[in-house]
Amino acid sequence: MSASSASLFQIQDLNERQIFQLFEKASRLSVEFFKSGNLHNLIDMNRAAENVVLLFFLEPSTRTRVSFEMAALRLGLKTLRFDDVSSSSLAKGESSTDTLFNLMAMHPNALVVRHGNDPELALTLRNLKIPVISGGQGGLSHPTQALLDVYTVFKEKGSIENKKILFVGDVKHGRAALSSLELFSQLRAKVGTVSPEAMQYEGKLPVQSFSDLQSGLKWADVVIGLRVQKERNSRVPKISDEDYKKYYRLDVESIQPLGKSALIMHPGPFVPGHDFDPRLLQDKRCRIHQQVENGVFIRMALLADCLSLWSKS
Ligand code: CP
């Protein structure tokens, strides 16, 4: 038996047709959920109830873990969480890969996984026979965050092509930023960045780099704030917190050049005193909580696809 073809490890695993089909499914799930409060008309709940999704989270998470669990429970799936590393046998020295093999011996039907840079674990995950959906891999990729970011813009603006998307802050070390940038680019949006030198995008995609926040904001249809990934960039020269706040923080004053119909987004979490001013949550252009809401429906659509939960009728 080969590895599951229903898995999602990186955004490149999906082509454009599959991405827009996923958006259409997420939209149907959302319309049905808000109309009737359940998904009985779209999902085979009996089939769902036979499946257990294991949430295997080796790094901290609020949004992604709860969003996947909420999505699974709304679909009628059962969930099992492995997310407290300190109370697991990892704390006794067991490797992540051996932990995974033991969990697989208990036969979950699908796995959602967040992990750091662990090549052995990454390779093992790629060869599992059950569907595996990434909830974020080290500093490399976070495909479902990218999907929910792009879906949010698609819902608001009706299209992605030629939309001007500005990423502000730590693009280099942020998996959410990198996957989102890649997906916007794949769908022919124009991507710009405003970043300190040590946090600039270093990939191969065409990106317009702005030297200051104001000129980037004047250009943008969407601005996406980013947290500095302090846990991942300890070896690069640091910009002082004071300078970061002065030149890169999105706040009610610095955001002034942004157009009236532009959107303000952030993958979260943001650090109030550092990269993002919580007062912006009250700005009519802010879509941060819509991103979170949309993420649940994107993850529902992915889980329903990979476990074949759609009703036949
Ligand atoms: N955006 C995101 O991945 O948030 P969490 O780390 O809280 O899951």
Contacts of 119 (CB under 8 A, 6+ apart): none
Contacts of 82 (CB under 8 A, 6+ apart): 54, 55, 56, 57, 88, 99, 103
- Residue 82 belongs to what H/E stretch? strand 78-82
- Nearest atom in ligand 1 to the alpha carbon of residue 67 is 8
Joined together, the tokens standing for residue 245 give 């706040």
Long-range Cβ pairs for the range 200-206 (8 Å, 24+): 200/171, 200/172, 201/167, 201/171, 201/172, 202/172, 203/178, 205/181
Kindly tell me if the per-residue pLDDT of 1 is higher than 50: no
**Which pLDDT tens digit goes with each residue over 187-229?**
999 999 999 998 999 999 999 999 999 999 999 999 999 998 8
Joined together, the tokens standing for residue 198 give 């040590």
Pocket test for ligand 1, best of 56, 59, 61, 288 (most atoms within 8 A of CB): 61
CA angle 272, 298, 271 (to 5 degrees): 5
Q: Give the Cα separation of 236 and 233 in Å (integer).
A: 6
To which residue do tokens 């759609």 refer? 310
Count CB neighbours of 47 within 10 A: 16
Joined together, the tokens standing for residue 271 give 């650090």
Of 35 and 272, the structure prediction assigns the larger pLDDT to 35
pLDDT at site 5? 78
**Which pLDDT tens digit goes with each residue over 228-279?**
887 766 655 578 888 888 999 999 999 999 999 999 999 999 988 889 999 9
Closest by Cα among 284, 295, 268 to 30: 295
For residues 148 and 174, the answer to whether their CB atoms sit within 8 Å is no
Pocket test for ligand 1, best of 56, 58, 59, 64 (most atoms within 8 A of CB): 64
Write out the DSSP string of 239-261: PPHHHHHHHH-B-TTTTTTS-TT
Q: What's the whole-number mean pLDDT along residues 111-124?
A: 96
Kindly tell me if the per-residue pLDDT of 303 is higher than 70: yes
pTM: 0.96
Q: For residue 215, how far is its CA from the centre of ligand 1 (angstroms)?
A: 29
Q: Give the Cα separation of 181 and 35 in Å (integer).
A: 33
| Residue 231, ligand 1, Cβ within 6 A | no
Helix pair angle (288-306, 16-36), 10° resolution? 110
- Nearest atom in ligand 1 to the alpha carbon of residue 267 is 1
pLDDT at site 4? 73
Joined together, the tokens standing for residue 91 give 């704390």
| Residue 136, ligand 1, Cβ within 6 A | yes
Q: Would you place residue 146 in the very low, low, confident or very high pLDDT band (cuts 50, 70, 90)?
A: very high
Mean pLDDT across the chain: 95
Kindly tell me if the per-residue pLDDT of 103 is higher than 90: yes
